[in-house]
Amino acid sequence: MERMRLFREFKTILVEHVSGTGAKALENLHEHTSMTDDLGVESLDIVNIVIDIENHFNIEIDNDSIRRMSTVGNCISLIQEKMASNYVALQAI
């Protein structure tokens, strides 16, 4: 999936979980936007965001991968990686 499309879809997921000053940061969202510092996402928010990502993109995100979700760009890269892994696994069947 094209990275810009993933960015837009990921932003749609974030909108449901970000409020307050973080919601203002969504207007200028970019790949270097920090999930915690700029968007105010806390650990419980991350859990809910991960669940929504897994459901939306039909992927699984392990605990070690969650630690990499520090910026929007890292999240998008992780989604791409997991989607590619799923594709490779399906091709092997």
Q: What is the pLDDT of residues 30-41, one digit of tens each?
A: 999 999 999 999
Q: What is the pLDDT of residues 13-52, one digit of tens each?
A: 999 999 888 888 899 999 999 999 999 999 999 999 999 9
To the question of pTM greater than 0.75 for the whole model, the response is yes
Q: How many other C-beta atoms lie within 10 A of the C-beta of residue 52?
A: 16
Do 68 and 35 touch, CB atoms closer than 8 A? no
DSSP string, 27-52: TT--TT-BTTTTT---HHHHHHHHHH
Domains and CATH numbers, the chain: 3-92 (1.10.1200.10)
Tokens coding 89: 């696994």
- Name, in order, each residue with C-beta under 8 angstroms of 4's C-beta and a sequence gap of 6 or more: none
